Chains A and B, each alone.
Chain A
Amino acid sequence: MPHTFVNRLKKYYSFYTGGFVMFVLALAVAEYMGMPDHWIGWTFMATTVALYAGIGIMSRTADVTEYYVAGRRVPAIYNGMATGADWMSAASFIGMAGTLYAKGYDGLAFVMGWTGGYVLVALLLAPYLRKFGQFTIPDFMGARYGGHTARTIAVVGTILASFTYVTAQIYGVGIITSRFLGIAFEVGVFVGLAGLLLCSVLGGMRAVTWTQVAQYIILIIAYLIPVVFMSYQVTNIPVPQLAYGAVLEKVTEREDAIMADPAQQAAREAFRQRAEQREADIATLQAAGAPPAEVARQRQLQAADTARAQPITHHGEPFPGQTEAERDTARLNFIALTFCLMVGTASLPHVLMRFYTTPSVREARESVFWSLFFIFLLYFTAPAYAVFAKYEVYTNLIGTSIIELPGWVASWAKLGLVSVEDINADGILQLAELSLNPDVIVLATPEIAGLPYVVAGLVAAGGLAAALSTADGLLLTIANALSHDVYYKMIDQGASTNRRIAVSKGLLLLVALIAAYVASLKPDTILSMVAWAFSIAAACFFPALVLGIFWKRATKEGAIAGMLVGLGLTLYYLIGVKFMGMPRWFGISDVSAGIFGIPAGFVTTLLVSLLTPPPDEATQNLVESVRYPSLKSIPKA
């Protein structure tokens, strides 16, 4: 029986992948025959969203195990793909290559952090959580640390980490739909929301899982195609990951040439002077009692000019800086960020939850391997993406006449993502005169490389798949924490199955609407808070989860104290540094607040556990039972 199920899945998804490729080719032919760009964008969006909704409707369910953990029969490789889509958000798909473009080596903290975390998932958590075999992460806290206190803190941590994250995904959906369909941003948000809900409300985890597999296939095809084309154009080798070493060398040569160019120096000097002028203007404005909004706006302009006056650094150079101390702080921040992203990856409930859905512990272990493998395909391509884009910009764009700039510069400038200012009035574009929003790298690459519009539509569909799949997983996590942990476990233990699922669906709808509403306000702070999710989740969950499995002596009081101290310290540092003007500790940025919270959580849990009496025998038996995939000789605890 399981064998035929796996075969059927293989057949479905092969057919689906083939169908999708045929669909893209057909659209390419249609474009060649003269189909307008606008129609191509609509066809892509409508078809893919209808597809996801279709899978959602086909997988609708009212069974508790199906709804919460997809019936625990998702084979390792498919769970790997679903985890990949669940994990890779709009930020990974659209933002990562752009961040690497802007930061060079220092951006690799994201690449290592978001992949290396899976080593922790595989070694320390996934197999044990699968053996534990409940429905949510707060479930584990509740069972291991008894009573409702640990469970409640875990629910709060889940919501804190997931809500800003889901808002950012819905925001990403709005950006993509409004850009490629030409509709208003707010309308785009709610259109995306409809596609999202059709899937998750009807079928819970089951529908989300099978849609995520479909979304992974689209997003990986969409990510690889433009960069393969670009690699072939530049190096004649269609394997960008191997070919970009040589291109990186050329980029380095160009960087030296650009820095030595007197026109670039003149442009930088002009920006520096204007930044000084603005500084003086701001002082005058403040003295005259100008409204704070106007002062803030001037400050932004001043900061932009200062940034443009900075010297460029080599793409491949680790921790560039003017002084030794600056370089050391950059290194410390790199390490702290990598560490927080890794531990955060291993603590985010929507990722951990996916490992409840495999049929066995054995498959849970294999499934982490497949997850990282599928994630790896995108993450080790992203640095190549950045280098090829940089090569194109530095060699073909910089130094051209401003009136002869290619069409994509103007079309993205219209959306405010690219700006060009000929400050030294020589009619030639210098590097300092160009500013690119990181998001534009992936979105505009098809145009930069002169590829047909079908590829641009494909990239948009890929970005949409990445945002929707992550949003689905997160929404489900929040709704399940509220319906399963709060409603069922704490309020009404006698609730019928139908009622539990109905409550869960209602909450899902409510959370989705609130998130969409918040996203439609385009709040800047929410978006910058997304990176915080990693530190928050890491400090709240990681010590309690790991010690709960590996240290029988960890007590309820210890875990509760550890979670509160870890979470509290992290939030204190985040909010203090970001909003209260608190000085940084060791120069660590607010994003990496977990570097203080995680060790504090561990130490507190250890100390308080040792000061309180050891856990009772039932709890100790639970710990034993999760350590062994099966314990036949011993009666179940």
Chain B
Amino acid sequence: MLLTDKHREYWRRNLRLTGTLLVIWFAVTFGVVWFARNLAHIIFLGFPLPFWVGAQGALIVYVLLIRHYARHMNELDEEYGVGEDGR
């Protein structure tokens, strides 16, 4: 396959972004759950912190992660000239 270095760099940057976002996803979900009992006495916005994270915080982070990924990758497509035509 005739991939140029530019193509490989695009894929590496994609992998780096994906990896970083997955680390955040993992920490917000499982990190907070693991320490939930230790964090339960912290009150945030009127909720015990782990409850708030599970019911709202983590969900907001998920939405933002996907939004960031979509924006960033769509820009990267343009930058490396691998975007689709006609848009």
Contact = CB atoms under 8 A, between A and B. Distances in A.
Nearest to A384: B55
Given A245-B46, A620-B1, A629-B82, A373 B59 contact: no
Consensus secondary structure, chain A interface: helix
Given A119-B21, A124-B18, A108 B51 contact: yes
Interface in A353-398: 360-362, 365-366, 368-369, 372-373, 376, 379-380, 383
Nearest to A339: B30
A232 B18 CA distance: 42
Contacts of B81: 632
**From A334, A629, A637, residue with most partner B Cβ within 10 Å:** A629
Contact of A631 (B37, B63, B82): B82
A634 B2 CA distance: 6
Contact of A246 (B11, B46, B54, B62): B46
Contacts of A122: 65-66, 69-70
Contact of B66 (A119, A338, A633): A119
A335 B54 contact: no
B59 A111 contact: yes
A119 B3 contact: no
B85 interface: yes
A369 B63 contact: yes
Interface string B64-87: 011101100110010001111101
Contact of A338 (B30, B48, B63): B30
A5 to B, nearest CB: 14
Interface stretch (A40-48, A143-151, A314-322, A474-482): A314-322
A380 B53 CA distance: 11
A238 interface: no
B56 A380 contact: yes
Contacts of B46: 245-246, 248-249
Contacts of A365: 69-70, 73-74
Interface string B21-32: 110010001100
A142 interface: no
A367 B59 CA distance: 17
A373 B30 contact: no
A548 interface: no
Interface residues of A, number: 56
Nearest to B48: A316
B56 to A, nearest CB: 5
Contacts of A629: 77, 82-84
B16 interface: no
Contact of B58 (A112, A366, A373, A631): A112
> Contact residue range for chain B?
35 or more
Interface string A83-118: 000000000000000000000010010011001101
A342 B25 CA distance: 11
B16 to A, nearest CB: 12
Contact of A628 (B10, B15, B50, B51): B10
A241 interface: yes
A286 interface: no
B77 to A, nearest CB: 5
Contacts of A631: 7, 82
Given A319-B36, A630-B84, A123 B54 contact: no
A624 B77 CA distance: 15
A118 B62 contact: yes
A628 B81 CA distance: 10
B36 A105 contact: yes
Contacts of A327: 37
Contacts of B7: 628, 631
B87 to A, nearest CB: 6
Contacts of B67: 369
A42 to B, nearest CB: 36
B59 A369 contact: no
A318 B63 contact: no
Interface string A493-516: 000000000000000000000000
Nearest to A552: B1
B33 A373 contact: no
Nearest to B86: A360
Interface string A221-251: 0000000000000000000011001101100
A331 interface: yes
B36 A123 contact: no
Nearest to A319: B37
Contacts of B85: 630
Contacts of B4: 633
Given A335-B34, A365-B74, A118 B66 contact: yes
A372 B62 contact: yes
Contacts of A368: 66, 70
Given A316-B40, A629-B84, A379 B33 contact: no
Given A319-B36, A342-B29, A369-B70, 9 more contacts: A105-B51, A111-B59, A318-B37, A318-B51, A362-B77, A368-B66, A369-B66, A629-B77, A633-B4
12 contacts: A111-B59, A112-B54, A116-B62, A122-B65, A122-B69, A127-B73, A319-B36, A362-B74, A362-B83, A368-B66, A369-B67, A372-B62
Closest 3 CB pairs of A and B: A245-B46, A108-B54, A318-B36
Interface of A: 105, 108, 111-112, 115-116, 118-119, 122-124, 127, 241-242, 245-246, 248-249, 316-319, 327, 331, 334-335, 338-339, 342, 360-362, 365-366, 368-369, 372-373, 376, 379-380, 383, 550, 617, 620-621, 624, 627-634, 637
Interface of B: 1-4, 7, 10-11, 14-15, 18, 21-22, 25, 29-30, 33-34, 36-37, 40, 45-48, 50-52, 54-56, 58-60, 62-63, 65-67, 69-70, 73-74, 77, 81-85, 87
